[in-house]
Amino acid sequence: MAFLENWIKVKGSPLIGDAYFPRLDAAGNIPMHVAWLAHAETPSAVQRLYYLAIASAKRELILQNPYFIPDRHAVRLYADAVARGVQVSLMLPTSRTSDFPIVQHASHYYYGSLLQAGATVFEYTRSGIHQKVLIVDREWCTIGSTNFDPRSFRINDEISVAIHDPEVAQELARAFEEDVRGAEQWTLERWNDRTFAHRVTDRASVLVKRQL
C-alpha cells in the first residue's frame, strides 16, 4: 500500500492485475506487520507503533537510531518505563560521527531528562550509525526507515516492519551488545559538565527541531 500510494501520486494510475500481484504461496511463520506514515490529518502510524511499544515494555527496551529528537511525551514514556522496572538503553551517533551534527546536538538537550530518569545512553564512536531498531523484551522488534524525530513522524515517507519473534529480536539485541564495545556511555555528570558553547548549541538545535 505504501508503494502504491506513492505510485498513484506520481503516475496518476493504479497498478492492478495478476501481472503486478501474482498469487503467492504462504511462506514462513513469523508474525509481523507494517506501519508507514499516515496522511497529515491523522496520527502517524509509525509514531503510534513506537510509542505503544515503549509503553508496553516489561523488562527491557533497546533503541538504536541515528536521529533521535523525542518530544515530551516520548521522554515521559521512557521515564515511565524505567519507573516500572524496564532497563532502557539508547544508542545514537556522536556529534562528530553523525552526518547531521545539529540533530545530535538536539539529542543532547534531552539527555539530561533521560539520564535523570535512569535510562542508559550510549554514543557509537567508531563511525556513524544508520540502523533504526527498537527491541522490546527481546521478543518483539521493529526495523525500517523511521527515525525517532518529528520529521519522520510527521513529514517524510517512512515505513517500519514490526516483528514478533524472539529469535529475530535476540539477534538484533546481540548486535546491539557488540556495538556497545565501540560506544561510550554518557552520565548525568558528563551532561551537567557540558561547556557553555555546547549548551548553547544544544539549545539552539532544539529550537529548530521541526526542520531537522
Residue 152 located in a structural domain: yes
Residue 8 located in a structural domain: no
Query: What share of the chain in percent tops pLDDT 90?
Result: 61
The pLDDT confidence band at residue 3, using thresholds 50, 70 and 90, is low
Compute the average pLDDT of residues 42-63: 88
Residue 23's pLDDT is 78
**pTM for the whole structure:** 0.83
Residue 101 located in a structural domain: yes
* pLDDT digit string, tens, across residues 104-159: 999 999 999 999 999 999 999 999 899 999 999 999 999 999 999 988 888 877 88
Residue 166 located in a structural domain: yes
Residue 154 located in a structural domain: yes
Residue 42's pLDDT is 60
Buried b / exposed e across 63-81, counting CB within 10 Å, b at 16+?
Answer: bbbbbbbbbeebbebbbeb
Of residues 56 and 99, the one with the higher pLDDT is 56
Residue 23 located in a structural domain: no
Domain count, the chain: 1
Residue 10 located in a structural domain: no
Residue 14 located in a structural domain: no
Domain span at residue 132 reads 35-211
What is the CATH number for 94?
3.30.870.10
Q: How far apart are CA 123 and CA 127, in angstroms?
A: 10
pLDDT at residue 4 greater than cutoff 80: no
Highest mean pLDDT among 6-20, 22-36, 133-147: 133-147
In which element (H, E) is residue 32 found?
strand 32-36
Compute the average pLDDT of residues 164-191: 96
